[in-house]
Structures are given as structure tokens and as C-alpha cells.
Amino acid sequence: MNSPHTSAVIFEALGHQLQFSQDPNSKHLGTTVWDASMVLVKFLEKNCRKGRFCPSKLKGRRAIELGAGCGVAGFGMALLGCDVVSTDQTEVLPLLMRNVERNISRIMQTNPDSDSLGSISVAELNWGDEGHIKALEPPFDYIVGTDVVYAEHLLEPLLQTMLALSGPKTTILMGYEIRSTNVHEQMLDLWKKNFELKVVPKSKMDAKYQHPSIQLFIMSLKSPEGCGREIDENPEGRTREIDETKIEKLERGKDEDDDSRGGIDEVSSHCGEKIKEDSITSLQTEKLSEWEARRFGSMAARLLRDVKMT
Ligand SMILES: C[S@@+](CC[C@H](N)C(=O)[O-])C[C@H]1O[C@@H](n2cnc3c(N)ncnc32)[C@H](O)[C@@H]1O
């Protein structure tokens, strides 16, 4: 868990300084900014100069964020030109609305000519609620969600919602931190049955905003014949097929793209992350960046929880 004790998170992304208010007094999960949302936005930042995430391709596209919380991931899509509907349960909407309004007005003040900025609105969406889904007029071009996979009972309603909001051309971008291998495996089974699924390699993520336990997925609906194969643009603009081996590596609990940081096995258990010696050295000798401080905070919280449990 991130530290919910601060009342605001300042996050530089896509040429803007964004500020997201949190509610330190709330017990609701949606009132904290979760790390996978920052990893997703920094991934977009790194890959938006050309290819499928560049503003000229996203301008005017309809995107929806599921379980938006403070709204970081949806904001990233709006900064790239999408018209975003940021959704969550009703209790979270006032904070989400405040974060959207404040960041939009700050951007308009500091950068009134920001022509790549799309729009962002807020709506209630309880996963599985057909009335809510219909009111949002699917299908969307993009569906985004970060850290929305954390409990077994939510997997099915989340899947049904993703399916109901998708059309044949929808791209789904999900990011999350693995906390339970059981939920993770069930989620992968469900998603692979329904979507073409690609795991984003660590090499495509921002060099700093990544972590071995945080995964990003890019998905699209399986074609009815089951023979549709998603293609993705590589950095040179040519197309290539999904690297299925990445998915297998993930299922085996290893991401060999990131050998230097250890495999998923090391971090997905509830026993806390392995602290590497070089991390400790940097803790002692250097001022921590905001991101490193968040990750160390998250690790400490987990260790404390485990100590309490045993
Ligand atoms: C762990 S938080 C992540 C928040 C945000 N996406 C982030 O990354 O910072 C999970 C979010 O999912 C939302 N959520 C959980 N169950 C939901 C449901 N059944 N319908 C809609 N949203 C739900 C919560 O309200 C919360 O905002």
C-alpha cells in the first residue's frame, strides 16, 4: 500500500506538474494515488512521441478510466488528447472531481495554449451495473484502469464491465501491482480467455517509474473467430506481432527483461520485497527521489503488516 498519510501527491508527467489530493482520513482505497497509475502515465510519456500513443492519434478519441480513484491514469490520457470519462464508485467521486477540476484549471493557467489537452469528465460506474454502463454510451476507443485488480470477488464484474465497454477497435490499458499470486493467476486466465493480451516489457517503461511487481497490460477483444492477432507498433513504426513469450514468462513468475531487478517470484509474496544491498547503499548516501521514497514506504508498510500478522 502506498502511504496514504500525505494529503497531496505532486507528479510531473507529460510536460505538466500535476497535483492529486488524497484523503488521509478515509479508509476507502480510491482516496490514495496508487503507484501503478504513475507507472502507466510515465509509460505513456515515454512512448508518446511516435506510434499508437502519440497525441495526433489520440486527439478526440473516447477513453474511460475504471476505478479511477484520484484520477491519475485518466488524466494522462486526457493530456495526450483523449476525451476521458473518469469513473468510480459514488464515495470517491467528490475527491476525483476536485482533482480533475484543479489540475485542468492549473494547466489552463500555466499553459493556456496546450492544444494537445483533451477533456475529462467524471461519472459514477459500479462495475457490472448495466444502467451505469449504458449511460456512458459504449464502446470506447480506450479503457484504462490501474490497481483495480486486487480482490477475487471483483474479477468477474470488472471483466463484464470491460467487455461491455469494448468494441472491436478498443484498446485496453491496465496496470497493477501484484499482491496475490492467486488473484493474479485468476485474472490472467480470465483476461486471456477474452482478450488478446500483451505484457509491456520493462524496457518500454520509464527507467525510473517501474518496479518488478508492477505490470502493464495492453489488450484488445479477441476476434469472434479467435484468430485475431493484435499487432503493435515497435519504436521504428513497423508492426510486429505480440510477443507471447513475455506472457509465458510472466506466468512462470519471471520477467527476464528485467533480470537486474529480480523476478516476480521475489516480490509477489506477502513476505515483503527483497531489499537489495545497492538500494540500501543509495538510501544511506543519496537523497531519495519521490518515487524511491514511495516504493520504500510501500515496502515498509508491507513489512509492518506482516510483522503484525505473525
Ligand atoms: C486500489 S484503488 C486504485 C485507484 C486508482 N485507480 C489508482 O491507481 O490510484 C481501486 C479503485 O477501484 C475502485 N473500485 C473497487 N471496486 C469497484 C467497483 N465494484 N466498481 C467500481 N469501482 C470500484 C475503488 O473505488 C478504487 O478507486
| pLDDT tens digits along 7-18 | 999 999 999 999
- Portion of the chain with pLDDT greater than 70, in percent: 73
| Summary mean pLDDT of the chain | 80
Question: What is the pLDDT, as a whole number, of residue 260?
Answer: 32
Q: How many CB atoms lie within 10 A of CB 265?
A: 13
Return the ∠ at Cα 107 (arms to 102 and 111), rounded to 5°: 160
Higher pLDDT, 273 or 43: 43
User: 66 and 36 in contact (C-beta within 8 Å)?
Assistant: no
Give per-residue burial for 172-194: e unless 16+ CB within 10 Å, then b: bbbbbbbbbeebbeebbebbeeb
Cα 231 to Cα 196: distance, rounded to the nearest angstrom: 10
Among 87, 68, 81, 80, CA closest to 20: 68
CA dist list (Å): 272 to 269, 288, 295, 301: 7, 20, 12, 9
Tell me the pLDDT tens digit for each residue of 244-287.
334 334 433 333 333 333 332 222 322 223 333 333 334 444 56
Among 272, 268, 232, CA closest to 250: 268
70 close to ligand 1 (CB < 6 Angstrom): yes
69 close to ligand 1 (CB < 6 Angstrom): yes
What the block records as the C-alpha cell of 212 is 518488478
Tell me the pLDDT tens digit for each residue of 221-246.
998 765 444 434 343 333 333 343 34
Higher pLDDT, 81 or 240: 81
30 close to ligand 1 (CB < 6 Angstrom): yes
Question: What is the pLDDT, as a whole number, of residue 300?
Answer: 64
Q: Is the pTM of this model over 0.85?
A: no
Tell me the pLDDT tens digit for each residue of 110-157.
887 777 899 999 999 999 999 999 999 999 999 999 999 989 999 999
User: 167 and 137 in contact (C-beta within 8 Å)?
Assistant: no
Cα 11 to Cα 117: distance, rounded to the nearest angstrom: 17
Specify the pairing of strand 171-177 against strand 214-221: antiparallel
Q: How many CB atoms lie within 10 A of CB 267?
A: 22
Of 91-100, 267-276, 291-300, minimum mean pLDDT range: 267-276
5 — pLDDT class (breaks 50, 70, 90)? low
26 close to ligand 1 (CB < 6 Angstrom): no
Per the omega criterion (within 30 degrees of 0), is the bond before 139 cis?
A: yes
Question: What is the pLDDT, as a whole number, of residue 84?
Answer: 98
- C-alpha of residue 56 to centroid of ligand 1, in Å: 30
Of 23-27, 51-55, 89-93, minimum mean pLDDT range: 23-27
Question: What is the pLDDT, as a whole number, of residue 21?
Answer: 94
36 close to ligand 1 (CB < 6 Angstrom): yes
- C-alpha of residue 64 to centroid of ligand 1, in Å: 13
Higher pLDDT, 22 or 300: 22
CA dist list (Å): 207 to 39, 103, 128, 137, 211: 10, 25, 36, 37, 10
